[in-house]
Amino acid sequence: MSREAKFSCGRDYFYTSHLYDALSESAGQGFDFICVNMAGPRYVRGGVCDNTADKREEPMSRSDLTLSTNDWNQLIVGKISSWINLEHSSKKVRESHEKAFYEELSYATHLSIPAVLVELNSSDCENLSSSLVAYLQQTNQHVWVKVPLTYPLNKEYSFNIEEVGREDPWEWWTKFYALCGCNKKISVVLEIGTRCVEAMVIDRWTGEPVKAYSVSTESFSSNQKGFPVLNKSTQSVINSLFKLNCQGILTGTNHVNKLMGITTYIQYLQHLWSIRDNESPVREFARGYEDFLQCPLQPLQDNLESQTYEMFEKDPVKYVRYEEAVKQALLDIKERETYQGKDVVVMVVGAGRGPLVKGTISASKATGISVKIFAVEKNPNAIITLRNLNIKEWNSLVTIVSSDMRLWTPPELADIIVSELLGSFGDNELSPECLDGAQHLLKPDAISIPTSYTSFLAPVSSTKLYNALANCVDPSKPAEAPYETPYVVYLHNVYLPAPCKPLFTFTHPNLQQNSNERYTQLQFEFSQNSVIHGFVGYFSSNLYKDITISIHPTTYSIGMFSWFPMYFPIRQPLYVEYADRVLVNFWRRVGKNKVWYEWSVSSPRASGVHNSGGKCYSIGL
């Protein structure tokens, strides 16, 4: 699942009758593909297409023999004729245009070209969406819909949320894509002008299926050396789209410097790509898993496999923090009046293959405080590793206990209990239930590492995540299950229209035996119109005192890769206006044999309760 994104840019030709030559020329200039009209321009007659395939003597377009299937399939984007207007008020014209539309689409599919390009010029798109979706039902053809970033494209622009309304192209697209039923075969080509736009204008598009940006040579100006350059705002827009691995399309002709050809434009875009925001270590680790929905692990119910342990043990941050926390706890115990130089009893519960045992041994060595370690683990396969390690590396000093921590009767009680039972949403791997069940192992003043953890929630806009749900069908579950189940996912093609808020907190030891059920209602304010597709979840944890680990976006433990965020979908995408408040309700429910979450939206429009009674998803106790 690992593949590095590459810079890619195509050239937009209006029409060429010498396709092979155009392709050779543009390849020589450094372009990766070209965009050409599907049909010849002579087929427009007075705005009415009166050609039918049956009567014409001349061919509608160039022959498929002009290129090999391989070339059609990799190098050509086909533009649907721009004179085609499916919203025309005349029924006769509209029907004639629809016929031409299908002819061009059908020929594109015949040629196996990877995408056809359709322009969206206003919010009037009822017939376009209906005709397009009807066609897509029969084929695997992909369609790129070209939408301007702003309207008009190039006039000086001040984003005023209250005046935008129907003339905001994002609203055109949102209506069009809703009419198309969020069809996966449809993507966006964003047309970029020279206007300066605020960050929020482009941010909103980062949750949409944007595949390419289109920029005209007219948008470039000449720098001191005579080379074409873009203004800061446009650079920043393109940089945002590079994060989505968007390809470029260059339209227009060379005008900046006649001596230096069109190649200088592509070189400039390539330069922007090469200096784009650097990859983070986690992004590197997650490559290939962007927006890929995964079922959350259930380490309590299922035994983890060797390769899962192996991967998590490589986390460069988590175990350093844990060792630091154990060290601090040992030093604090040493300061207690009750400490008389005896071995501090440390129980590692859910020891897995022993990384926390190793950390405890190191902490003991570093502080000079001697410890007695019990490693409790319920997975018999990990027990084999622990026993081998105990013989070969730990000098048989660790007591290996093959048991569920909740069921074990200890020979003595613990001063410190160390566990790593946290999931992406904090409590979702049942850390609260396990640690509460292990409280009989503790001395009254025992320290728990971690001491507490909190889950966080934010609304999310992402057609990519929402569309991926349709692939998550499980015949053994209710039909709605994909839409009422949380997933673990590395977020990529998403937009968070409002900041995270804290949801549930758990602290340990839980001496009052407080219930682990929870209910919280959260309110989110929106700064602009958005379509939300659910909520994303994070956690942070205090291991001990001020030593924390976190995957919350603003307190993230940089370099830590053990957890991706959670995604809680909603059944229907929810259109939210900028003045709306979104109210969401979250429950954590605990049954006899399982734990589950339920969620619902109560404002601006009420949704049904998702995963009611744990019917679609639960975590086995």
Binding flag, residue 562, a copy of itself (CB under 8 A): no
228 within 8 A of 177, measured Cβ to Cβ = no
Q: What proportions of the chain, in percent to the nearest 5, are helix, strand and coil?
A: 30, 25, 45
Does 153 bind a copy of itself (CB under 8 A)? Our answer is no
Q: Which is nearer to a copy of itself, 344 or 438 (CB)?
A: 438
Total residues interacting with a copy of itself, rule: CB under 8 A: 42
**CB-count burial class (<10 Å; 0-12, 13-18, 19+) for 287:** middle
- Please answer whether residues 334 and 402 qualify as being in contact, where contact means their C-beta atoms are separated by less than 8 angstroms: no
Stretch that binds a copy of itself, among 55-63, 164-172, 540-548, 584-592 (CB under 8 A): 55-63
Please give the Cα distance from 76 to 113 (Å, whole number). Answer: 6
Instruction: Give the position of tokens 């990529």.
Output: 492
Closest contact distance (angstroms) between CB of 304 and a copy of itself is 8
Active-site residue, 305 included: no
Beta bridge partners of 372: 345
Q: Is 65 in the site for a copy of itself (CB under 8 A)?
A: yes
Q: Is 377 labelled a binding residue?
A: yes
Q: Are 84 and 100 in contact (CB under 8 A)?
A: yes
Using CB under 8 A, which of 8, 16, 109, 236 touches a copy of itself? 109
403 near a copy of itself, judged by CB under 8 A: yes
Q: Binding site annotation covers 405?
A: yes
Contact call for residue 387 and a copy of itself (CB under 8 A): yes
- E-assigned strand segments in 97-164: 115-119, 143-148
Active site (annotated) includes residue 598: no
Nearer to a copy of itself, 231 or 403 (CB): 403
Whether the Cβ atoms of residue 354 and residue 319 lie closer than 8 Å to each other:
no
Task: Indicate the residue among 275 and 407 with the shorter CB distance to a copy of itself.
Answer: 407
* Residues 409 and 339 sit within 8 Å (Cβ to Cβ): no
Compose the 422-451 pattern: x for residues touching a copy of itself by CB under 8 A, - for all others: ------------------------------
Instruction: Using the minimum distance from each CB to a copy of itself, give the nearer residue, 391 or 579.
Output: 391
3-state secondary structure at position 169: helix
Within 283-312, which residues bind a copy of itself (CB under 8 A)? 303, 305-307, 309-310
Q: Which two tokens stand for residue 603?
A: 């404002």
One residue of 24, 73, 514, 602 binding a copy of itself per CB under 8 A = 73
Catalytic residue among 191, 208, 420, 598: 420
Q: Among positive and negative, which fits the CA dihedral 231, 236, 238, 239?
A: positive
DSSP state of 588: E
Nearest distance, CB of residue 272 and a copy of itself, angstroms: 36
Sheet holding 619-620, edge to edge: 518-525, 581-590, 594-603, 619-620
> From CA 574, how far away is CA 499, in angstroms rounded?
17
Q: Is 216 in the site for a copy of itself (CB under 8 A)?
A: no
CB of 479 to a copy of itself, least distance (A): 11
Which residues, 6 or more positions from 463, have their beta carbon under 8 angstroms from its beta carbon?
A: 177, 182, 207, 208, 209, 493, 533
Which residue has tokens 């075969």?
Answer: 185
User: Quick one: which segment of 366-374, 380-388, 431-439, 486-494 binds a copy of itself (CB under 8 A)?
Assistant: 380-388
Asked whether position 42 contacts a copy of itself by CB under 8 A, the answer is no
- Residue closer to a copy of itself, measured from CB, 54 or 335: 54
Q: Is 616 exposed, middle or buried (0-12, 13-18, 19+ CB in 10 A)?
A: buried
> Distance between CA atoms of 52 and 178, rounded to whole angstroms?
32
* 319 appears as a binding residue in the annotation: yes
Nearest to 560 by CA among 569, 570, 572, 552: 552
Nearest CB to a copy of itself, comparing residues 312 and 538: 312
63 binds a copy of itself (CB under 8 A): yes
Residue 135 is labelled as binding a ligand: no
Query: Is position 436 annotated in a ligand binding site?
Result: no
Closest to 321 in 3D by CA, of 405, 420, 397, 455: 420
198 annotated as belonging to a binding site for a ligand: no
- Single out the catalytic residue among 103, 429, 433, 484: 429
One of 82, 112, 239, 267 touching a copy of itself (CB under 8 A): 112
Residues annotated as part of the active site: 420, 429
Annotated binding site for S-adenosyl-L-methionine: 309, 318-319, 377, 404-405
List contacts with a copy of itself (CB under 8 A). 53-54, 57-65, 68-69, 72-73, 103, 106-107, 109-112, 303, 305-307, 309-310, 353, 380-385, 387-389, 391-392, 402-403
